[in-house]
Amino acid sequence: MSERPERPIILFGTPNPANRNTKGGGAPKISFPSHPRQVARLEPKLAALQDAIDHNRILIQQSPTGIQPEKTLVFEVSGDLTSFYTAVKNLGDDVEWIFDSSADIAVSDDFFVYKEDKKTKKSSRDDRKTAFSGKVYCVLANNRALEEMVSLWKQFAKNPNMSFPKGKTGFKDVFKQLIDIHFWGYKERIEETGILEAWQDDLQLEPELSTVKCEIELFYRKSKEIQTQREDNLIALIREAGGSILGRSVIDGIHYHALLASLPRQIVEDIVARREVAVAAAEQIMFFQAVGQSVIISDDNIRDSTLQVNMPASINDEPMIALFDGLPQENHPYLNGLLNVDDPDNFAAHYTVSARKHGTSMASLIAHGDLNNIRHQVTHKIYVRPIMKSVNAGGGIWEEIPGDILIVDKIHEAVRRLFEPLAGRVAPSVRVINLSIGFPSKIFDRLMSPLARLLDWLSYQYRVLFIVSAGNHLEDIDVSMSFADFSGLSEEERDAVIVRHLNDNARIHRLLAPAESVNALTVGAAFADESSFTPPARQVLPCSAGMVSPISALGRGLNNSIKPDIIFDGGRNTLLQPPLDGTKLPWRGSLTRAPGTVSAAPFNIAGGSEKIMYSYGTSNAAALTSHESSRCYDTLVDVFDGAGESLPHDYAALLINAMLVHGAEWGDLFEKFNTALGDPPRATDYMYRFFGYGKPNIEKAVECAKNRITLIGYGELKDGQAHLFDLPLPFEEFSREKILRRMTATMASFCPITPARQAYRAAQLWFSLESAKKHLIDKRINADWTAVRRGSLQHEIFENDQIVVWGDEDRIQLKVNCANAADDNFTGSVPYGLMVSFEIDNAVDIDVYTRVATMISPKVTA
């Protein structure tokens, strides 16, 4: 147990039950075409449906089994239509809703956003809006359902005031607001998944490659009989084409059904060339996806260590943090005795010591932090599960997630092994899992990846926090000037260039799966480390320390939620003068010296001194955040022990999550970005895509101060319920003088998910301030109030310094609310962890901590 701080965090009193607030918010109003115009627009598209019906009727007649062919329909609609969901359900049990997602719709003369004049109540087109948020609905229908939809359309086309059958009025709304309707095809299945680029690379890099592996994700069907039937038909097609099946996975909780297939080179070449291939046209296929993921770290990054690393005096054998990564060098002097390596797949047989770079580095960062400045170390062993192998080919050695596994299936199995008795239950004490991996071929674009859905589902099932790296984009940076000119700029001017680079490339530098996970803590990289450095000739630091790293993947998350959640030190690197004069500056490839984050590197124990390596990127940022989670855990154990309680196992991960984010703020980043981007000024709802809630100050989360008190609470809520937490503030001084006051509140929850709905969270939690007098702390700073409620992590900062009438009995109440979202029938509960700080200007000599702590009612335990 660590030494108890002078002013420890304290527990909230027991919250009072209450009724929840309304959620608030609203959608823009969209103008739709007139009925005659809509009929004219859609007639050709509905004619295509009629052709499909006629073709299917022939296929049914020719089929010996009489099984109806199925088609997947994509509806692009200018709005959110809950009634459509009901209408699809009422088409019959054999018709299934696959998913719905958001879509950015460009305005046109037919569909545009309109505004209303508050005085005249007249509406007009809002020319400031060039796009609006629409909806994509994906429905799997058979011939009977297609015939019914077309029949309804024909009736509606003749009479817009017709009465639709009971339960199917949603089609009337769709017909009015429909932008496009088409069958799921090559574009969705192949073109938009990144698989073409991955296959082209494989074919070019390995001309002798005879087969190519890929993941084939099928449309998820609820019926096990239909699942088997559709899978068997697809397997027959693949084998007929000369391919083979290497694996399969069905995870019902996330609507995931996939095959791992090996396809002949010729088939892949035909698909890339857009030649007709039966496998590529199979109706049951949702996506083709690339498999495997390589991590290449140059031997040039490794050097002899002159650092003195003192190991912890004692270590708890029960791990709190798990690392899913490459295999680390377990007996490295900086790691010896700190790891619990569990390798049921025997990946170690495929790893030479020299190849164990990424796992060794991540384990080192989690255990010690940046070796250049060790402030604290883990107190529990780190559980390590290798999910990568080393590959020795063409004279090179690298690490990769093997192409012969489905990564979703592997992570699922690895997490179940931690907690499930039948799977081993090898480390049930784990509360945090570090995933410093990202998939360049799976860039987030509105639709959640299976791996992100898996992390969300597992978080809720096992109350475990995934800390995930946002991903890296390592392309050269076009600074629009020569190297000499760029290196001659001031640090502030170089920052502005990088800000514009990030903004201009935000669309292509999006999050890499599974960073879009709603329940995970997604970490982007800050351009910072613990090294001292002066650039040599022909090198330049692209921006100042503490800036957003130019390689860090950017948000937003699902439904424009805040992602990445935070940024953290990821290490720095320099840009090089290109060999030919140009404006694209490459990153330094051989990190033989500072700058960068310093960690342990693998070496032959019998061959010499310890080795270290320099590196940079979001993998480091995630690992260093996991390192801080160990400190948060130790603090929580002390807090509950001091209150005569045990840290509640089911809420530990949530409280850690809240603590990691609690000290985060934007600092000067918002102003720096706004200044660089110029007019018009960007709103707060625009900025969080670059740095989330900002960079956290962990010190503020682990200990209080004379001018600051921090409290924690936790609980579980169902739809319609709420908890009220009381925060008494006995400060008569607020009535007499201007004193800067600030309240920071952070709440983390694990939301259950509804995989097929864009709303996604079956239920959501959010907090609101109650009973706070006007001008006490009513000025929000940093993130927009609507944005903070879109995910599972809400972090808000309120402040004010105006004189306000205040008495000893006055208090602030914070209400935690719960409401069903994507699933009106959800009856479960949603757990949360809450952290709240109140502080005043440090220059004012008032003992905030003592005054508030003495008035907090003790927590009543069950």
- Please report the pLDDT score of residue 623 as a whole number: 98
The full DSSP string for 574-642 is: -EEPPSSS-SEEPBP----SSSSEEEEE---GGGSS-EEEEE-SHHHHHHHHHHHHHHHHHHHHHHHHH
Chain mean pLDDT for the chain: 92
Residue range 697-726: mean pLDDT, rounded: 96
- Please report the pLDDT score of residue 777 as a whole number: 87
pLDDT over 50 (residue 862): no
Measured distance CA(812)–CA(112) in Å, rounded: 43
The full DSSP string for 395-451 is: TEEEEEE-TTS-HHHHHHHHHHHHH-GGGT---TT--EEEE---EEEEE-BSBPPHH
Q: Which residue has the higher pLDDT, 92 or 691?
A: 691
Neighbours of 372 (CB within 10 A): 18
pLDDT over 50 (residue 34): yes
Query: φ and ψ at 683, to 5 degrees?
Result: -75, 165
**Positive or negative torsion for Cα 830, 663, 448, 269:** negative
pLDDT over 80 (residue 634): yes
Give the model's confidence band at 1: pLDDT under 50 very low, under 70 low, under 90 confident, else very high: very low
Neighbours of 207 (CB within 10 A): 7
DSSP letter at 335 equals T
Residue range 636-642: mean pLDDT, rounded: 95
- Please report the pLDDT score of residue 861 as a whole number: 45
pLDDT over 80 (residue 817): yes
- Please report the pLDDT score of residue 252 as a whole number: 97
Burial, 587: exposed, middle or buried (Cβ in 10 Å; 0-12, 13-18, 19+)? Answer: middle
pLDDT over 50 (residue 11): yes
Measured distance CA(719)–CA(817) in Å, rounded: 8
pLDDT over 80 (residue 551): yes
DSSP letter at 732 equals G
Residue range 162-181: mean pLDDT, rounded: 93
Q: Are 631 and 659 in contact (CB under 8 A)?
A: no
604-611 own/partner pairs: CB under 8 Å, 24+ apart: 604/353, 604/354, 605/331, 608/304, 609/304, 609/305, 610/304, 610/305, 610/307, 610/332, 610/333, 610/334, 611/302, 611/303, 611/304, 611/305
pLDDT over 80 (residue 4): no
Q: Tokens 């690895």 map to which residue?
A: 414
Q: What is the pTM of this model?
A: 0.95
Measured distance CA(227)–CA(222) in Å, rounded: 7
Compute the CA torsion angle 711, 716, 722, 728 (nearest 10 deg): -10
The residues pairing with 101 across neighbouring beta strands, listed in sequence order, are: 136
Burial, 646: exposed, middle or buried (Cβ in 10 Å; 0-12, 13-18, 19+)? Answer: exposed
Query: What radius of gyration, in Å, describes the C-alpha atoms of the chain?
Result: 28
Q: Which residue has the higher pLDDT, 654 or 4?
A: 654
Three-state SS sequence of 288-323: EECCCEEECCCHHHEEECCCCCCCCCCCEEEEEEEE
Neighbours of 503 (CB within 10 A): 17
- Cis bond before residue 831 (omega within 30° of 0): no
- Please report the pLDDT score of residue 121 as a whole number: 73
From 17-21, 315-319, 426-430, 671-675, the region with the lowest mean pLDDT? 17-21
Return the closest-CA partner of residue 196 out of 219, 220, 212.
Answer: 212
- Please report the pLDDT score of residue 774 as a whole number: 80
% pLDDT > 90, the chain: 74
Neighbours of 720 (CB within 10 A): 11
Instruction: List pLDDT tens digits, range 271-292.
Output: 999 999 999 999 999 999 999 8
Alpha-carbon distances of 162 from 101, 154, 157, 165, 171, rounded to whole Å: 29, 11, 10, 10, 12
Q: Are 734 and 804 in contact (CB under 8 A)?
A: yes
Measured distance CA(692)–CA(684) in Å, rounded: 11
Q: Are 669 and 676 in contact (CB under 8 A)?
A: no
pLDDT over 90 (residue 118): no
From 339-343, 518-522, 561-565, 588-592, the region with the lowest mean pLDDT? 588-592
pLDDT over 50 (residue 377): yes
- Please report the pLDDT score of residue 68 as a whole number: 61
pLDDT over 60 (residue 2): no
pLDDT over 80 (residue 561): yes
Return the closest-CA partner of residue 745 out of 771, 775, 725.
Answer: 725
